[in-house]
Amino acid sequence: MEELVLIGIGTGNPDHLTLQAIKAMRGAGLILIPEKGPDKSDLAGLRHAMLAEHAPDVPVMTFPMPKRDVSGGYLAGVDAWHDAIAAEWVAAVARAGGAVRRVALLVWGDPSLYDSTLRIASRLDPKPKVTVVPGVTSVQVLTAGHAIPVNEVGAPFTVTTGRQLRDHGWPAGVDTLAVMLDGECSFVTLPPQGVHIWWGAYVGMAEEVLAEGPLAEMALTIPPLREGLRAAHGWIMDIYILRRKG
């Protein structure tokens, strides 16, 4: 493997693919697709559908996504998980047989925003050249779905995680938060007065569900809605923006 191409593919809408992404798919010698089990088979299915439409002649190799174990600590568990994923990439390329100069991965959203593909790529030895093709992010798709700007006029905003929000509360110095990777509905831990939430699940996909309103009301509405969607689909990816009066 001389080159590893990380292709941002957006959040599930095939129309989010850029021309650059399509050209990168067609220029690959092998494309790797993770298999995350039957509950998330539609994620792999979307990747296969994109390739069938835009790069049907490029060989594809799947690999099993290792399970993450954080029982020994979150950071240590993530570190071991990344090692295991890198090993699966190498094994998948070996199974393809022959010399593959350019290998590609289709990365959900964008490789730069709360995604670890670049960190995993840094563990490969020998290290290939890494090329990144940017993709549409879930933050962009959420704000488009609600038809809102992500920030107030001339004001900053913070992109953070549910874990950070639960452990440390509202970050100082900002009135707008974009919160990702939150499986616990961490917004319910915040004082709701004067806070508005814009929430979305499966943003960009055919299953997209949006909700918005005062946090005092939506903190009661969104958690059961979220659990119902998880039960119906077997998995869920969601994101939300919080804004409080400055």
Three-state DSSP state, 53: helix
Can 3-136 and 139-244 be said to share one CATH topology?
Answer: no
CATH classification of 139-244 is 3.40.640.10, yes or no?
no
pTM, full prediction: 0.89
Tell which residue, 63, 128, 62, 132, has the closest CA to residue 101.
Answer: 128
Q: So what's the pLDDT on residue 141?
A: 97
Smallest CA-to-CA distance from 202 within 242, 230, 223, 231 is with: 230
Residue range 3-136 forms a domain whose CATH class is alpha beta
Q: Among all chains, which residue has been given the structure tokens 């990816």?
A: 237
154-168: pLDDT as tens digits = 999 999 999 999 999
- Sheet containing 158-161: give its strands across: 158-161, 176-180, 238-244, 195-201, 209-214
The tens digit of pLDDT for each residue in 75-103 reads 899 999 999 999 999 999 999 887 789 99
Task: Name the pLDDT band for 1 (thresholds 50, 70, 90).
Answer: confident
CB 244 within 8 A of CB 175: yes
Q: What is the residue extent of each domain of the chain?
A: 3-136, 139-244
